[in-house]
Amino acid sequence: MSIPEKIPLKILRKKLAQSLLGQSKTPKTINGLAVTSLEDFVTESLVLEGVPFLGATMRPFPADELQAYLGRIQGGEKEKAEKYKLPYIHRGNITIQDGSKAFDLDTLRKQIMTRPTTLLKQNEKMTHSDGSSSVFFNVGLPALKGLAVNETTGEFVIVDTCPGAGQCKVFCYAMKGGYVQWKASSMAQTKVLNFLLNDPEGFKAALKKELQKASEKFALKGTQVVLRWHDAGDFFSPDYLDLAFEVARAFPKIDFYAYTKMASAAQASRPDNFKMNFSQGAQPSQEKQIEFARTKHSKVVQRDLFWDLIAKKGVSLLKDAKGRMQFTNGQALETFKSRLAKHYALQVASILTYDEMMETPKSPPNTWNVIVMPGDGDDSANRSDVLGTYLLFH
């Protein structure tokens, strides 16, 4: 059976079953009893419950192609464009088979199929100006393309983990730095993806268990538990989005939020405790579907709108006590708010700095547009009264 490059696994399995069993059909009923064909029985058995692999878009990664790719990684000969097409694999996670020049795919497969010890990564704990506190957790996948194993067949597969990604992939923070620098963190994300795809029910149960533990540790003491879904990766399918919403419904006291480049995820109806931000850098086909006046979103502000208004000494930025760049004075901030309002067709009165937002009591949904500098927190993404988050990078 020849297999085209990109083919949904459900169809692939059907073809496999057809090829194994031929085209023989059994009657639909015998003595009035419904009977399934052997082919359908095998197909359904392979599919197990629901949509296989949560309906992710993926393609097989044949052993010879993988061997050649690992060779290029080891030899430092990876082509530039490959990072957009093939999953990141840390060279520390690949070994040569004893007595052979080939890479040890069995060991790699075994590592990936080992269930992760934890799904949640704990980030900072913050105390707010009103004395309340929050603790932040992440759950993340490999950015853009992920490596996984089809545990039914043992074959390696490449998974589109960010199908809505457009320009963002060029400056993606999760395709560099600590995400890829360390072999353990790179493998940890791969294991999370593999667990999620092959055993969504097990994944859900494990995540709920960890959230329950976090709740008992923090929420019962009055600290708000916040989960950012995806420090990397995206809601790659409707079934995956449903899974995330189901987990959120099970913990109404925990705040969940995410950034997404998927229009369907940004505009889906969701539990009240799940905030979704459509973020800039998606494919134009996704952006076209978004009504920015009604959909919570985040945008990166072009530098020429603010750079001349920022306090500097020579070529260095003058930073505030929290290490953030600042406007030269109050007038400069007002000038920037006017420019921002004009550029994005906003009401000036709807624009707050991050600090102003933190001082502002919760308001009706989509009231505010918030300026966020490097060093500010992520609260605007997790407040339903904030419509737009405007990021100033330098």
Q: Which stretch binds ligand SF4 (CB under 6 A): 73-81, 152-160, 199-207, 227-235?
A: 227-235
Can residue 234 be called a binding residue for ligand SF4 (CB under 6 A)?
A: yes
Report the relative pairing of strands 316-317 and 297-300 from DSSP bridges. Answer: unpaired
Minimum CB separation of residue 381 from ligand SF4 in Å reads: 13
Question: Which two tokens mark 196?
Answer: 């999620």
**Are the CB atoms for 277 and 266 separated by under 8 Å?**
yes
Can residue 378 be called a binding residue for ligand SF4 (CB under 6 A)?
A: no
Q: Which is nearer to ligand SF4, 285 or 363 (CB)?
A: 285
Q: Which is nearer to ligand SF4, 169 or 297 (CB)?
A: 169
DSSP 88: -
The single residue among 17, 42, 73, 172 that binds ligand SF4, judged by CB under 6 A, is: 172
Can residue 165 be called a binding residue for ligand SF4 (CB under 6 A)?
A: yes
Cα of first residue to Cα of last residue in the chain, in angstroms, is 54
Minimum CB separation of residue 227 from ligand SF4 in Å reads: 17
Minimum CB separation of residue 146 from ligand SF4 in Å reads: 10
Burial letters 153-167, b for 16+ CB under 10 A, else e: eebbbbbbbbbbbbe
Q: Which is nearer to ligand SF4, 251 or 278 (CB)?
A: 278
Whole-angstrom Cα distance, residue 211 to residue 244?
13
**Are the CB atoms for 351 and 341 separated by under 8 Å?**
yes
Can residue 192 be called a binding residue for ligand SF4 (CB under 6 A)?
A: no
The single residue among 13, 261, 299, 383 that binds ligand SF4, judged by CB under 6 A, is: 261
Minimum CB separation of residue 98 from ligand SF4 in Å reads: 37
The single residue among 73, 149, 168, 392 that binds ligand SF4, judged by CB under 6 A, is: 168
Q: How far is CA 84 from CA 65, 81, 237, 254, in A?
A: 16, 6, 19, 34
Burial letters 16-29, b for 16+ CB under 10 A, else e: bbeeeeeeeeeeee
Minimum CB separation of residue 121 from ligand SF4 in Å reads: 15
DSSP 1: -
Long-range contacts of 321-329 (CB under 8 A, 24+ apart): 322/375, 323/375, 324/373, 324/374, 324/375, 324/376, 325/373, 325/374, 325/375, 325/392, 325/394, 326/373
Q: Which is nearer to ligand SF4, 139 or 168 (CB)?
A: 168
- 259 — phi, psi (to 5°)? -100, 145
**Are the CB atoms for 143 and 157 separated by under 8 Å?**
no
Minimum CB separation of residue 348 from ligand SF4 in Å reads: 30
Minimum CB separation of residue 279 from ligand SF4 in Å reads: 7
Can residue 83 be called a binding residue for ligand SF4 (CB under 6 A)?
A: no
Q: Which stretch binds ligand SF4 (CB under 6 A): 26-34, 93-101, 231-239, 300-308?
A: 231-239
Can residue 270 be called a binding residue for ligand SF4 (CB under 6 A)?
A: no
Can residue 263 be called a binding residue for ligand SF4 (CB under 6 A)?
A: no
Question: Which two tokens mark 285?
Answer: 């086909």
Minimum CB separation of residue 91 from ligand SF4 in Å reads: 21
Site string for ligand SF4, 114-143 (x = CB under 6 A): -----------------------------x
Whole-angstrom Cα distance, residue 173 to residue 183?
17
Can residue 144 be called a binding residue for ligand SF4 (CB under 6 A)?
A: yes
Can residue 232 be called a binding residue for ligand SF4 (CB under 6 A)?
A: yes
Can residue 108 be called a binding residue for ligand SF4 (CB under 6 A)?
A: no
Beta-sheet strands, E only, within 82-204: 121-127, 133-139, 145-149, 156-160
Report the interface residues with ligand SF4, using CB under 6 A: 143-144, 162, 165, 168-169, 172, 174, 232-234, 261, 281
